[in-house]
């Protein structure tokens, strides 16, 4: 399938002109999203939560109108309170057992660490269950591609947990950019203050006993075996290559979301990264293969799309930032909540916060002058808080959720390409997105896909 | 002096060394700093040997002393007997000191000093020597604070001594080629420059050690501290690792930018920047961060448009230019520079070495201009020559002072963490008052500049 066609399948096209909408409908007919055995809007969905201690807990809360029939977590302590909140739900530690045993599950919410997103989501989809999966969709580029294709094949309703995508801000950004508010965009800067957890550290040597409340082997899932250590959980797994996806994985699915949508991005053609190192002894740079670096910068190049020129996208994390634009008045915050985006157009600049929120043309004088276009994009009920329900409607035969895997898969792949580039610092990697191949640095391809531990399949 | 100030108000760069060799402009420069003053009364004729003293003679100082050992090495000063041991032994005729103040007071025959201490001592040692009319070769960066750099530059002018900063790449062929090519219009007008280093390769981003091990008998710790605030001895600071500590060193910028930015400063005739902004990994009050980026903006200069210069350290890099062929490295191991012109790009390594237009086909096609800038035999000899009445050394403080100020402004911005507007003439951040605390530092009691 051509890149162009794949792009046409992105969710955004469902909301665009009738022409592209019609093409997209040909590929993924709308009715399949409910499909045979679909839950009628009047009925309640039977939802299972996998990984409910962290973000999963919030997702379930927003799904409180449905039936929460099963809860699965490998960490009884971390998930304990949530277990108590849903006394009627059956409790599991192994999602595979849960999915095999509890046949009435219609839909699954995946809120585990990144390294288990793909296996859980894939198994659920293969069983015909709808999936809401936390961001980033997967741990590797390959997994994202496979999940995206599976979602299409099994015709289930999907949504990635980049809730900003349901927000007003992201829509305004698209409408303004498509309106030509800042002219053609050739350069974008996006950043986050993450990581706010330790990175650039080495694997702990101590091997404390596994808490009785934790199923360590299941927590590891498809990742290579290593001894338990509290350095990995409940949250700091983000730092570790085997489990998390670093600052990019945590935040870029939010921060880059409005960039991706408004600029209609597909696969990048080139990606290059550089990053900081730790030095603990003179002249010895730590070549760390255990955790992500404390700071990194990724430069993406995207080719021309439709009527838009090629664009360079620059990502900064760990304290790195683009230069403050001259247009930003003294004292004004750059971005919001620690992250943000600056779109640099031929005719102006647009800035927004972490979740595409608070978009403004800068300077503020430009914003005031700007005659806003009509709100042509459909709004999501409940704004960012309605992201889960947006998916529920899709599960019940409504239109595809706004960040379904046809969109979120592309976005996740681009995000994870940044991590792939971080593994090969200083190399400008030419990317053949269609074939998931780095064409000029063969060894980089080892990071496209990862090996699963024995007993785990995809 | 007054005339210098008046002229620098308009154009601080006009007093830089480059003007000495820049054709008609050189005449103006000569008016300001007449060539004969650099020898002055009592100067050493070229046929005689200079009496040189070394201050800080382990590490880099050992190399510097070796490079001037054709002269009389009459005195050596170091606070660390162990680190300086080899150098002491090599020059048995030289008097040995731990305190440079005592040395300069006692050894009246000293005509010139080579300063290669940690950064925090550079200014105090150089200033005392200059005030006593001695010529000074000082390692880079010239000083630890912007204020010190300004004061040294002015003192060198007032005292009419021969000076040279130890950015030896400035004497190299590469730096000269870069100037000649850029002035020839090889890449058109330059509005953007990127410079980077692989430093720090010593620990930064760390906290002050809590242990207080005993001071080794071979070390005069209090003298090592010099004008810096007192703190207990710890091997985390020396040798060499002082670079990472704000009280002593100047981080990756201080170590390498006087080399790496040098060809930019010269070729683009830079003076004080208009603004500077830094971003970095976690900033703490003890050490420089593990990685940083500094965004500088310079106004238009002499027929050159405004230029944005971006500095990267800790292995951060600018994006690889499309013009660079597959498999070619960016710069050299220590760092490099990428000049982005309207009509092309020029890349070089650390020290201005190995300049090339990129892609290589552009280099091959380029018809090089004549070599109009005088070549220098060797950096230390260039200074020795100046001490003996020759023309000013190529990186004398009139040039290297402003260069050092630009470098140190990067550290100031790292500590301030905001986009700063800079009034170079008055050494003031005009938009963030608290940032001005880093322009100058307080000296410990008993120490003066």
| Banded model confidence at residue B44, pLDDT cuts 50, 70, 90 | confident
Mean pLDDT across the stretch B34-60? 74
β partners of residue A336? A339
- Phi-psi region for residue A396, left (φ > 0), alpha (ψ -120 to 50) or beta? alpha
Task: Please give the pLDDT value at position B266.
Answer: 98
A-chain CB neighbours of B279 within 8 Å are: 316, 319-321
Question: Tens of pLDDT along A141-168?
Answer: 999 999 999 999 999 999 999 999 999 9
A:B CB pairs within 8 Å: 80
Mean pLDDT across the stretch B62-82? 98
CB B84 within 8 A of CB B76: yes
Question: Tens of pLDDT along B261-316?
Answer: 999 999 999 999 999 999 999 999 999 999 999 999 999 999 999 999 999 999 99
Beta-carbon count within 10 A of B447 CB: 14
B279: closest chain A residue by CA: A320
**What is the maximum span of chain A, computed from C-alpha positions, in angstroms?**
67
Share of chain A above pLDDT 70, in %: 92
Does residue B340 belong to the interface with chain A, where contact is any CB pair within 8 Å?
no
CB B254 within 8 A of CB B292: no
Residue contact A295–B240, C-beta within 8 A? no
**H or E stretch covering B345:** strand B344-349
**H or E stretch covering A247:** helix A246-247
Does residue B333 belong to the interface with chain A, where contact is any CB pair within 8 Å?
no
CA distance to partner chain B, nearest, from residue A265 (Å): 20
β partners of residue A110? A50, A133
Task: Please give the pLDDT value at position A40.
Answer: 80
The domain ranges of chain B are: 2-168+379-397
The sign of the CA dihedral B172, B330, B119, B410 is positive
Phi, psi (degrees; rounded to nearest 5) at B28: -60, -45
Query: Domains (ranges, CATH) in chain A?
Result: 3-163+383-410 (3.40.50.720), 166-377+414-447 (3.30.360.10)
Higher-confidence position of A183 and A458: A183
In Å, what is the CA distance from A131 to each residue of A88, A125, A156, A260, A347? 21, 7, 7, 22, 41
Does residue A316 belong to the interface with chain B, where contact is any CB pair within 8 Å?
yes
Average pLDDT value for chain B: 91
Phi, psi (degrees; rounded to nearest 5) at A156: -105, 160
A191 three-class SS: strand
| Res B56 pLDDT > 90 | yes
| Res B47 pLDDT > 90 | no
| Res B34 pLDDT > 90 | no
Name the residue among A319, A320, A351, A317 with its Cα closest to residue A336: A351
β partners of residue A345? A185, A348
CA distance to partner chain B, nearest, from residue A280 (Å): 5
Q: Please name the residue ranges forming H helices in A256-363.
A: 257-262
**H or E stretch covering B277:** strand B275-280
Of A279, A299, A330, the CB nearest to B203: A279
Q: Which of A201, A323, A422 to mutate to test the interface with B (most CBs of B within 10 A)?
A: A323
- Phi-psi region for residue B259, left (φ > 0), alpha (ψ -120 to 50) or beta? alpha
Phi, psi (degrees; rounded to nearest 5) at A120: -70, -50
Residue contact A279–B241, C-beta within 8 A? no
CB A179 within 8 A of CB A397: no
Cβ within 8 Å of A, B 294-313:
295, 308, 310, 312
Give the integer Cα–Cα distance in Å for B265 and B269.
6
Residue contact A428–B320, C-beta within 8 A? yes
Give the integer Cα–Cα distance in Å for A327 and A323.
11
| Res A7 pLDDT > 80 | no
Name the residue among B317, B314, B119 with its Cα closest to residue B199: B314
Give the integer Cα–Cα distance in Å for B93 and B141.
30
A-chain CB neighbours of B291 within 8 Å are: 275-277, 294-295, 320
Question: Tens of pLDDT along A198-222?
Answer: 998 999 999 999 999 999 999 999 9
Per DSSP, A224 falls in state P
Q: Which residues touch B383 (CB under 8 Å, ≥6 apart)?
A: B68, B135, B137, B162, B163, B164, B393
B341 three-class SS: strand
- Phi-psi region for residue A108, left (φ > 0), alpha (ψ -120 to 50) or beta? beta
CA distance to partner chain B, nearest, from residue A234 (Å): 24
Does residue A187 belong to the interface with chain B, where contact is any CB pair within 8 Å?
no
**H or E stretch covering B115:** strand B112-115
Does residue A199 belong to the interface with chain B, where contact is any CB pair within 8 Å?
no
Question: Tens of pLDDT along A315-335?
Answer: 999 999 999 999 999 999 999
Task: Please give the pLDDT value at position B43.
Answer: 66
Of A274, A316, A428, the CB nearest to B315: A274
B-chain CB neighbours of A297 within 8 Å are: 316
Higher-confidence position of B193 and B24: B193
Does residue A326 belong to the interface with chain B, where contact is any CB pair within 8 Å?
no
β partners of residue B76? B54, B96
Task: Please give the pLDDT value at position A12.
Answer: 39
CA distance to partner chain A, nearest, from residue B359 (Å): 16
| Res A68 pLDDT > 60 | yes
Q: Which two tokens stand for residue A226?
A: 């290593």
The sign of the CA dihedral A44, A64, A249, A314 is positive
Cα A418–chain centre separation: 13
**What is the maximum span of chain B, computed from C-alpha positions, in angstroms?**
63
β partners of residue B193? B309, B339
> pTM of the full predicted structure?
0.90
CATH architecture of B2-168+379-397: 3-Layer(aba) Sandwich (3.40)
Does residue B150 belong to the interface with chain A, where contact is any CB pair within 8 Å?
no
Task: Please give the pLDDT value at position A282.
Answer: 87
Cis peptide before B359 (omega within 30 of 0): yes
| Res A246 pLDDT > 90 | yes
Does residue A340 belong to the interface with chain B, where contact is any CB pair within 8 Å?
no
Q: Which residues touch A49 (CB under 8 Å, ≥6 apart)?
A: A56, A59, A60, A68, A70, A71, A72, A82, A89, A108, A109, A111
B-chain CB neighbours of A440 within 8 Å are: 326
| Res B186 pLDDT > 50 | yes
B-chain CB neighbours of A339 within 8 Å are: none
Question: Tens of pLDDT along A375-416?
Answer: 999 999 999 999 999 999 999 999 999 999 999 999 999 999
């Amino acid at each position: 399938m051509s890149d162009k066609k794949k792009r046409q399948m992105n969710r955004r096209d469902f909301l665009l002109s009738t022409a592209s909408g019609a093409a997209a409908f040909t590929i993924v007919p709308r009715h399949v999203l409910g499909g045979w055995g679909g839950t009628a809007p009047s009925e309640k969905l039977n939802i299972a939560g996998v990984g409910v201690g962290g973000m999963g807990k919030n997702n379930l809360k927003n799904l409180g109108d449905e039936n929460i029939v099963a809860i699965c977590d490998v960490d009884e302590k971390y998930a304990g309170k949530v277990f108590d909140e849903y006394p009627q739900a059956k409790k599991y530690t192994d999602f595979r057992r849960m999915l095999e045993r509890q046949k009435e599950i219609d839909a699954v919410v995946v809120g585990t660490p990144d390294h288990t997103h793909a296996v859980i989501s894939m198994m659920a989809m293969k069983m015909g269950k709808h999936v809401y999966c936390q961001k980033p969709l997967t741990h590797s580029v390959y997994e994202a591609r496979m999940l995206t294709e599976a979602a299409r094949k099994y015709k289930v309703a999907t949504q990635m947990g980049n809730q900003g995508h349901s927000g007003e801000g992201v829509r305004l950004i698209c409408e303004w950019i498509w309106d030509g508010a800042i002219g053609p965009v050739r350069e974008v800067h996006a950043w986050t203050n993450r990581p706010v957890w330790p990175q650039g550290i080495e694997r702990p040597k101590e091997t404390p006993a596994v808490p009785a409340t934790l199923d360590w082997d299941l927590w590891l899932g498809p990742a290579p075996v290593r001894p338990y250590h509290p350095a990995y959980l409940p949250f700091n797994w983000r730092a570790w290559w085997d489990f998390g996806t670093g600052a990019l994985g945590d935040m870029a699915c939010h921060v880059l979301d409005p960039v991706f949508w408004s600029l209609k991005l597909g696969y990048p053609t080139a990606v290059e990264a550089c990053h900081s190192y730790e030095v603990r002894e003179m002249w010895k740079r730590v070549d760390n293969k255990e955790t992500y670096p404390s700071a990194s910068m990724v430069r993406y190049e995207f080719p021309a799309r439709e009527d838009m020129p090629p664009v360079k996208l620059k990502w900064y994390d760990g304290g790195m930032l683009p230069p403050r634009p001259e247009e930003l008045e003294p004292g004004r915050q750059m971005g919001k909540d620690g992250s943000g985006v600056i779109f640099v157009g031929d005719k102006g600049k647009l800035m927004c916060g972490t979740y595409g929120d608070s978009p403004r043309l800068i300077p503020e004088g430009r914003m005031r002058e700007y005659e806003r276009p009509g709100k042509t994009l459909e709004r999501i009920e409940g704004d960012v808080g309605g992201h889960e329900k947006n998916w529920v409607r899709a599960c019940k035969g409504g239109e595809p959720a706004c960040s379904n895997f046809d969109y979120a898969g592309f976005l996740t792949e681009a995000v994870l390409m940044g991590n792939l580039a971080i593994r090969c610092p200083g190399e400008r990697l030419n990317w053949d997105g269609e074939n998931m191949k780095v064409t000029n640095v063969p060894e980089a391809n080892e990071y496209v896909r990862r090996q699963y531990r024995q007993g785990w399949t995809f | 002096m007054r005339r210098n100030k008046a002229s620098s108000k308009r154009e601080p760069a006009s007093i830089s060394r480059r003007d000495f060799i820049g054709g008609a402009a050189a005449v103006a420069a000569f008016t300001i700093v007449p060539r004969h003053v650099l020898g002055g009364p009592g100067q050493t004729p070229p046929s005689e040997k200079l009496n040189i003293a070394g201050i800080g003679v382990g590490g880099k100082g050992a190399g510097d002393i070796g490079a001037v050992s054709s002269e009389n090495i009459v005195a050596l000063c170091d606070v660390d007997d162990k680190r300086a041991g080899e150098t002491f032994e090599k020059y048995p005729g030289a008097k040995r000191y731990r305190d440079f103040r005592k040395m300069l007071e006692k050894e009246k025959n000293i005509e010139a000093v080579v300063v290669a201490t940690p950064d925090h001592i550079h200014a105090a040692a150089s200033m005392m020597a200059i005030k006593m009319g001695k010529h000074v070769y000082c390692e880079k960066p010239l000083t630890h604070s912007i204020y010190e750099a300004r004061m040294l530059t002015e003192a060198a002018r007032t005292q009419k001594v021969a000076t040279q900063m130890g950015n030896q790449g400035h004497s190299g062929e590469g730096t000269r080629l870069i100037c000649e090519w850029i002035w020839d219009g090889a890449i058109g007008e330059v509005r953007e420059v990127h410079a980077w280093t692989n430093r720090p390769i010593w620990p930064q981003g760390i906290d002050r050690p809590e242990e207080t091990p005993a001071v080794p008998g071979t070390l005069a710790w209090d003298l090592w501290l010099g004008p810096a605030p007192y703190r207990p001895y710890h091997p985390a600071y020396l040798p060499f690792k002082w670079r990472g500590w704000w009280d002593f060193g100047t981080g990756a910028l201080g170590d390498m930018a006087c080399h790496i930015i040098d060809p930019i400063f010269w070729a683009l005739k830079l003076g004080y920047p208009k603004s500077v902004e830094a971003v970095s990994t976690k900033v703490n009050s003890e050490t420089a961060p593990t990685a940083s980026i500094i965004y500088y903006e310079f106004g238009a200069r002499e027929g050159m448009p405004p230029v944005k210069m971006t500095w990267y350290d800790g292995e951060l890099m600018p994006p690889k230019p499309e013009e660079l062929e597959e498999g070619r490295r960016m710069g050299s191991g220590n760092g490099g520079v990428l000049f982005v012109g309207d009509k092309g790009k020029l890349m070089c390594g650390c020290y201005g070495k190995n300049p090339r237009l990129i892609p290589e086909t552009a280099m091959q096609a380029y018809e090089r201009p004549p070599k109009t800038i005088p070549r220098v035999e060797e950096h230390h000899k260039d200074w020795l020559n100046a001490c003996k009445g020759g023309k000013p050394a190529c990186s004398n403080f009139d040039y290297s002072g402003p260069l050092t100020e630009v470098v140190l402004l990067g550290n100031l911005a790292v500590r301030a963490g905001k986009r700063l507007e800079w009034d170079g003439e008055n050494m003031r951040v005009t938009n963030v008052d608290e940032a001005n605390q880093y322009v100058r530092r307080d000296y410990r009691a008993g120490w003066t500049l």
